[in-house]
Amino acid sequence: MFIRTDITSLPLGRRLAQDIYSFDGQLLMSKGRVLQESHLQQLLQRGYDYIYILEDENKDDMHESQISEGSGFKSLTNEQLPKAFSTSVESMRQMMDRVSSGHMIKTDEVEECIDLIYDHVLQTYNVFKHLQDLRNKDEYTLQHSVSVGVLSIKIGQSLGLDADKLKNLGVAGILHDVGKSMISLDIINKPGPLDASEFQEVQKHPVYGYQIVNEIKLGDHNIAQAVLQHHEHQDGNGYPLGVRGDKINCFARIIAVADVFDALTSDRPYRSRMPLLQAADIIVKSSCGQLDPLASRRLISYILDITTGEKVILSTGEEATVILKNEVDPARPLVRIGERFLDLKTSRDIFIKGFVS
């Protein structure tokens, strides 16, 4: 059985019920093709309004099953990643407490932390759907550490890193701020801006972290190097070493992107979290000088993919659906409000205030 559907209803992950030919008779897409965003964009650009798709076999959890079909991810219930995330944050808390009280971290503690989340992160398409609320329920440093591990794995996954490297990258992401456990909590949790001496103290955390991680026998030297270098900038203006470009460790370059993005999209005492697309905009700008351009591009692509089809609230108060992503100016996609389309690229006075959760 098949049904007719408008392309703008974004039937992502659904299967085509018949072959589609171009106007000059060339086969564009074969029957049975699982529809991805790029296919729908291609059809829209060629002037197609509707297509025929096979009837959905599983209507109850369409989004998850769409992803399963489209990219080979296993179907997951919505609870698995948040639960794994919470348990990993708890393990992280114990680890940080041990370091603060002068103990060494054990290898199996680190392995437990990453093993708890690793498979779930790989198999979950839109990690933000599950993490956004949860991320702000715990102490910032703890939830931020695990979130950076999660995002680093997502970036590494899209860069095609092999399984061993990907897991070690996740470990480095989780441990990137472990050096903060050596700094006074009054400074770490200070709600306002830091003064010069406090800032100087905070800037020591990559070196403290390197010393801590070096004591653990983790096998991959990239982990300790990434912890040491995650605040280095492409233009050499970072700290603690001031190294630049390709001289910065490959894990550190990925973690730096994840670190900035997670900080932007988290609630902080002095500002509210930024919507994902606005934060992607900042990453675009930061990739000229501060952040690694390739790792930045991979994260932006991921954010653009997972936000297409999502509902947003505009500055006008209207609810809209993101229809077509904008690679150059991520916060300004084409959106649909009811039956009307609005291109935020040209309607510069209107912006996205946030996503409908």
Binding site for Fe ion (CB under 5 A): 177
Name the residue among 298, 265, 259, 296 with its Cα closest to residue 279.
Answer: 265
In 231-270, which positions are buried (b, 16+ CB within 10 angstroms) versus exposed (e)?
A: bbbbeeebeeeebeeeebbbbbbbbbbbbbbbbbbbeeee
- Contact (Cβ atoms closer than 8 angstroms) between residue 157 and residue 166: yes
Distances in Å between the Cα of 154 and the Cα atoms of 2, 95, 241, 319 are: 34, 24, 27, 29
- Contact (Cβ atoms closer than 8 angstroms) between residue 13 and residue 67: yes
Name the residue among 231, 225, 233 with its Cα closest to residue 250.
Answer: 225
- Contact (Cβ atoms closer than 8 angstroms) between residue 284 and residue 330: yes
Name the residue among 224, 244, 231 with its Cα closest to residue 204.
Answer: 231
* Closest distance to Fe ion from the beta carbon of 180 (Å): 7
* Closest distance to Fe ion from the beta carbon of 263 (Å): 9
Count of C-beta atoms within a 10 Å radius of residue 105: 21
* Closest distance to Fe ion from the beta carbon of 105 (Å): 17
- Contact (Cβ atoms closer than 8 angstroms) between residue 242 and residue 252: no
* Closest distance to Fe ion from the beta carbon of 144 (Å): 9
Nearer to Fe ion, 70 or 240 (CB): 240
* Closest distance to Fe ion from the beta carbon of 231 (Å): 6
* Closest distance to Fe ion from the beta carbon of 230 (Å): 6
* Closest distance to Fe ion from the beta carbon of 305 (Å): 27
* Closest distance to Fe ion from the beta carbon of 332 (Å): 30
Distances in Å between the Cα of 287 and the Cα atoms of 95, 253, 261 are: 33, 11, 12
φ, ψ (nearest 5 deg) of residue 97: -60, -40
* Closest distance to Fe ion from the beta carbon of 186 (Å): 18
* Closest distance to Fe ion from the beta carbon of 205 (Å): 6
φ, ψ (nearest 5 deg) of residue 60: -75, -35
φ, ψ (nearest 5 deg) of residue 27: -70, 120
Nearer to Fe ion, 177 or 310 (CB): 177
Residue 233, token pair as written in the block: 């900038």
Residue 211, token pair as written in the block: 């010393």
Question: What residues contact 282, with CB distance under 8 A and at least 6 apart?
Answer: 260, 264, 274
Nearer to Fe ion, 64 or 177 (CB): 177
Nearer to Fe ion, 39 or 230 (CB): 230
Residue whose Cβ sits closest to Fe ion: 177
Nearer to Fe ion, 177 or 232 (CB): 177
In 76-85, which positions are buried (b, 16+ CB within 10 angstroms) versus exposed (e)?
A: beeeebbbbb
Nearer to Fe ion, 113 or 350 (CB): 113
- Contact (Cβ atoms closer than 8 angstroms) between residue 330 and residue 264: no
